[in-house]
Amino acid sequence: MKFRLTLTLAALMIAGTAHAAPAECSIDVEGRPGKQFGPDHIVVPASCQEFTVRLIHTGKNSKEKAGHNWVLTKTEDIDAVMTDGIQAGANNDFLKPGDARILAKTPMLRGGETATVTFPVSRLRAGQSYTYYCSFPAHAQHMRGTLVLQP
Ligand SMILES: [Cu+2]
């Protein structure tokens, strides 16, 4: 009886694994105290249909004091997106509403919060440099990373 139960549990665990999203099509990104993203480089496999980023704010501050989000743009767009975002203000998470240059984004989080964003990989092109950053004022200088599509 005990042996059979063990087998059943093992089968359930295998079934659970099979239903989970492929690990390489998702990644956890930590927004850390000291305005750091970990990791600061992401490689998206072209074999993925969609890619999911789970942002974890590992700090303790409020959203107003030191919020973190994860915003993806082409590297050449980031300066203009940031300039427009600062003008859009805190009510818009420092992002211009409807900005088509923003390829993916999470909400602004406070310490301890987690958010997930999933975007179609067809949005990315091989050979194009992408940058992700936190749009909270004065965070982006340090709080940014690069993303590429792996052909
Ligand atoms: Cu931040």
Q: pLDDT tens-digit profile of 41-76?
A: 999 999 999 999 999 999 999 999 999 999 999 999
Kindly give the distance from the C-alpha atom of residue 42 to the centroid of ligand 1, in angstroms, as a whole number.
18
Kindly give the distance from the C-alpha atom of residue 139 to the centroid of ligand 1, in angstroms, as a whole number.
5
Query: Which residues are in the CB-under-5-Å shell of ion ligand 1?
Result: 68, 134, 136, 139, 143
Ranges of residues in the chain with a pLDDT under 50 are 1-2, 5-19
Kindly give the distance from the C-alpha atom of residue 45 to the centroid of ligand 1, in angstroms, as a whole number.
26
pLDDT score for 118: 98
Cβ atoms of 68 and 55 closer than 8 Å: yes
Q: What is the largest CA-CA distance in the chain?
A: 67
Kindly give the distance from the C-alpha atom of residue 51 to the centroid of ligand 1, in angstroms, as a whole number.
22
Distance CA 29, CA 26 (A): 10
Q: What is the pTM of this model?
A: 0.85
List the one residue out of 135, 132, 134 whose CA is nearest residue 86: 135
